[in-house]
């Protein structure tokens, strides 16, 4: 937790001493001024640490809430910070929020009721919204204990009413399944589902298991806690609701937009802060923090106006009793006035304002952006060190931090490097504390942290990407047509199968856990394959023919690669400062695979053995960035780079990407395709031959006989599967 490291420096400041004294007084209102975004986060962390009470932080919108969340995760750790996200659905819109919004809300409500002190971050809209009451919500928490007795039928019914879905087998979070005395459930915030074995009504065993293999793990579990998949249960709903709502529930338990109708469906709906009523004593009263209260006041009026506008529009086409009135959807100003009067209240403001009796002005300066100019950064650090500052330089990850240590000259312990980056850096003169962030050093966007709510085990199976009547290939039976899913009973167990149709109306059933035997048919657009016949030798003959062709091609390749192996290649130099600067300017966090492959490529390039490497990865996994770095390394060594792509569109995309990434360096990049004017093509070919182009990006035009390089050192082929072996080998021979 970064806050512990910063606390000794904070305590140097007189303003912090004054704040600490005010925090000791109950129901005191404090106005903290002069703070920028991340300095606000630091003071929220300090208030929480100093008081050890729940802190509720209300922000202008969900974007601000997420920024506070990211900063406070770094300062306090993720377990102590709860974000109650917006629904991202307009008032009265008959649409339910995504589960990525619902599940963290449920987790936050649970912690508000049962956990010790935390920081809760919430937009002002959700702070005012009426939601299910704490008593109803607490009834949705189930504990299943080994050796205890439970009515499994009633349990399943309750779970369905809480938003769980009954399935033949577990696939994803929120699924439940029963086979005899075995009950499976995938509870949110767990990496793996649970398998519970009953003997009668007694739990005999609780274990986790893998969705992919359906195999249970050996470790026994004594107790599990089940949280709901929705914020309310169907059991919470009033018996005397209008038939309009009852019909919708009968048709679909959790119909689209049910969250908007909560105030009409249950006896009592309450604002979020009501979940702290049981803690509402002098000793445990939460501290309420408003960020930029003047802006919040304007936002509250906007929310009210928007809700009233939507309400009046809906009244034109819907009965009044079927619409939640605005005053029941969101709390009004009187509620806010009451909360302000009863709470230990703190206001956070960037500028100086007089909101309440006690104002603490904290002189904080926002760090400037350096545009990647390390010499200016060095001058700034040196100046601060002369004034006895403690300096922290933050990076997104360890690799980035290490790069910065290599780029920035060595200092003593007064300059420290940390993993985890704030929204912005700042300079707190009283505390002699300065924080620099890598995204401000390089003048680039800060990478928004992605909060993962699901593990790989929780992802949907691949067959869900298939559409009815898609062509698919079974390794043993050949090309068929996807006919959908079907559940069959095998040895008393229900097994989900995908159905593949073949010629003569034959069918093959493949269990969903054997999808490794099936692939989607891939061919050029417009190609319609011939459907195979079950029992016919045609598929076997085709496989044998392909196998023979592969063996012939493999023999040719073995000979070619043997020659390359013994041939002495060019060993590129080790990374230069420019290379390190380029990689440090990458705005996204590298995945472990990206880091590993990047280093492997460098090792290959720095070896005397010619590199021949295949990089596989899905869209968005960072393959292009690896290509940029490799190309840059080659150009810095005086070599040319050719990038072969299958389409003009892709060539243009790469041209834009490479141009943007390498804009700060004296590198000439050009693009060649058959769609360019003949005169322009001739000019590019001539420039390429004379070494005036460093990186050339092109389509099949690069395979033409007139293409000559001055000193080609690296060939990159994108979507290589769309080029024939002969195409690729023809270009490779241009290097050797």
pLDDT of 557 over the 60 cut: yes
pLDDT at 308: 93
Q: What is the pLDDT of residues 319-341, one digit of tens each?
A: 888 899 999 999 988 888 888 88
Across residues 1-14, what is the average pLDDT?
93
Judged against a pLDDT cut of 70, whether residue 722 lies above it is answered with no
Scanning the structure block, which residue is given the tokens 């919708």? 248
pLDDT at 398 over 70: yes
Task: Say if residue 74's pLDDT is above 90.
Answer: yes
Domains 2-135+268-361 and 567-732 share a fold: yes
Query: Tens of pLDDT along 475-492?
Result: 888 999 999 888 887 666
Which carries the bigger pLDDT value, residue 531 or residue 546? 531
Residue 454 has pLDDT above 70, yes or no: no
- Are 231 and 259 contacting, i.e. CB atoms less than 8 angstroms apart? yes
Q: Where are the domains of the chain?
A: 2-135+268-361, 142-226, 364-441, 463-536, 567-732
In angstroms, the CA 264 to CA 373 distance is 59
pLDDT for res 461: 41
Q: Which fold has domain 142-226?
A: Penicillin-binding protein 1b fold (3.30.2060)
The more confident residue out of 632 and 557 is: 632
What whole-number distance in Å separates Cα of residue 139 and Cα of residue 677?
72
Q: Which CATH number fits domain 2-135+268-361: 3.40.50.11180, 3.40.50.2300, 3.50.50.60, 2.40.320.10?
A: 3.40.50.11180
Give the C-alpha separation, 28 to 34, whole Å: 20
The domain defined by 463-536 carries CATH number 3.30.360.10: no
Mean pLDDT lowest for which of 10-24, 194-208, 348-362, 413-427?
A: 348-362
pLDDT digit string, tens, across residues 669-687: 999 987 788 889 999 999 9
Does this model's pTM top 0.75? My answer is: no
DSSP sequence for 349-414: ESS----SSEEEE--EEEPPP-TT-HHHHHHHHHHHHHTT-EEEEEESSHHHHHHHHHHSPP--TT
| pLDDT attached to residue 287 | 93
Cβ-contact 290, 299 below 8 angstroms: no
What is d(CA 651, CA 697) in angstroms, rounded to the nearest whole number?
6
Q: Cα–chain-centroid distance for residue 260? A: 27
Q: Where residue 459 falls among pLDDT bands split at 50, 70, 90? A: very low
**The pair of three-digit structure tokens given for residue 357, joined into one six-digit string:** 């009796």
As a whole number, mean pLDDT of residues 105-113 equals 95
- Give, for 598, the enclosing helix (H) or strand (E): helix 592-605
* Residue 513: band (very low, low, confident or very high) from pLDDT cuts 50, 70, 90: low
- The strand ranges marked E within 438-568 are 471-474, 478-490, 493-501, 507-511, 518-520
pLDDT at position 279: 64
| Nearest alpha carbon to residue 636 among 689, 573, 716, 690 | 573
The CATH homologous superfamily to which domain 567-732 belongs is P-loop containing nucleotide triphosphate hydrolases (3.40.50.300)
Selected residue with higher pLDDT from 686 and 561: 686
């Amino acid at each position: 937790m970064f806050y512990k490291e910063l606390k000794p420096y904070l305590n140097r400041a007189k303003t912090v001493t004054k704040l600490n004294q005010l925090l000791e007084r109950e129901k005191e209102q404090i106005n903290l001024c002069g703070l920028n975004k991340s300095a606000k986060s630091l003071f929220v962390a300090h208030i929480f640490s100093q008081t050890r009470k729940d802190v509720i932080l209300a922000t202008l919108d969900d974007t601000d809430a997420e920024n506070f969340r990211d900063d406070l995760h770094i300062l306090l750790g993720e377990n102590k910070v709860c974000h109650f996200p917006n629904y991202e659905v307009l008032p009265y819109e008959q649409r339910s929020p995504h589960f990525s919004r619902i599940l963290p809300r449920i987790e936050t409500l649970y912690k508000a009721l049962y956990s010790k002190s935390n920081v809760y971050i919430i937009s002002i809209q959700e702070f005012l919204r009426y939601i299910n009451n704490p008593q109803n919500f607490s009834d949705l928490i189930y504990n299943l204990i080994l050796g205890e007795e439970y009515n499994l039928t009633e349990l399943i019914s309750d779970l369905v009413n809480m938003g769980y879905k009954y399935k033949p087998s577990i696939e994803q979070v929120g699924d439940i399944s029963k086979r005899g005395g075995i009950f499976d459930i995938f509870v949110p915030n767990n990496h793996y589902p649970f398998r519970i074995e009953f003997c009668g009504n007694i739990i005999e065993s609780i274990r986790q298991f893998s969705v992919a293999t359906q195999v249970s793990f050996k470790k026994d579990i004594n107790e599990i806690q089940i949280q709901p998949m929705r914020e309310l249960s169907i059991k919470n709903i009033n018996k005397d609701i209008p038939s309009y709502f009852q019909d919708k529930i009968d048709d679909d338990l959790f119909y689209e937009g049910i969250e908007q109708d909560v105030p009409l469906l249950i006896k009592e709906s309450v604002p979020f802060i009501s979940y702290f009523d049981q803690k509402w004593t002098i000793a445990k009263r939460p501290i309420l923090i408003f960020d930029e209260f003047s802006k919040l006041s304007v936002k509250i009026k906007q929310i009210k106006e928007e809700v009233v506008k939507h309400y009046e529009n809906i009244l034109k086409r819907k009965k009044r009793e079927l619409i939640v009135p605005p005053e029941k959807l969101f709390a009004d100003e009187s509620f806010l006035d009451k909360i302000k009067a009863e709470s230990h209240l703190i206001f956070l403001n960037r500028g100086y304002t007089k909101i309440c009796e006690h104002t603490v002005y904290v002189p904080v300066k926002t760090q400037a952006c350096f545009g990647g100019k390390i010499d200016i950064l060095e001058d700034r650090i040196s100046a601060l060190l002369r004034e006895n500052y403690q300096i922290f330089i933050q990076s997104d990850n360890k690799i980035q931090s290490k790069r910065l240590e290599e780029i920035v000259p060595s200092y003593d312990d007064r300059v420290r490097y940390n993993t985890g980056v704030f929204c912005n850096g700042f300079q707190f003169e009283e505390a002699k504390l300065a924080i620099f962030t890598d995204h401000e050093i390089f003048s680039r966007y800060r990478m928004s942290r992605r909060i993962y709510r699901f593990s790989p085990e929780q992802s949907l199976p691949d067959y869900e990407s298939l559409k009815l009547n898609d062509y698919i290939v079974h390794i043993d039976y050949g090309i068929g047509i996807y006919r959908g899913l079907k559940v069959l009973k095998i040895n008393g167990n229900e097994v989900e199968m995908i159905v593949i149709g073949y010629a003569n109306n034959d069918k093959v059933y493949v269990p969903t856990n054997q999808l490794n035997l099936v692939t989607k048919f891939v061919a050029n657009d417009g190609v319609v394959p011939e459907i195979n016949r079950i029992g016919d030798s045609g598929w076997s003959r085709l496989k044998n023919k392909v196998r023979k062709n592969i063996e012939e091609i493999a023999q040719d390749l073995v000979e070619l690669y043997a020659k390359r192996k013994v041939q002495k290649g060019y060993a590129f130099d080790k990374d230069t400062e420019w290379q390190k600067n380029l990689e440090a300017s990458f705005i996204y966090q590298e995945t472990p695979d990206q880091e590993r492959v990047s280093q492997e490529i460098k090792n290959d390039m720095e070896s005397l053995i010619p590199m021949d490497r295949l990089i596989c990865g899905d869209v968005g996994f960072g393959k292009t960035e690896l290509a940029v770095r490799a190309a840059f390394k080659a150009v810095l060594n005086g070599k040319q780079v050719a990038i072969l792509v299958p389409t003009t569109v892709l060539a243009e995309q790469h041209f834009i990407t490479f141009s943007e990434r390498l804009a700060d360096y004296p590198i000439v990049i050009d693009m060649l395709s058959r769609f360019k004017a003949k005169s322009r093509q001739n000019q590019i070919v001539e420039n390429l031959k004379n070494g005036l182009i460093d990186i050339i990006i092109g389509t099949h035009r690069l395979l033409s006989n007139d293409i000559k390089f001055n000193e080609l050192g690296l060939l990159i082929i994108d979507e290589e599967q769309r080029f024939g072996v002969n195409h690729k080998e023809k270009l490779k021979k241009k290097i050797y």
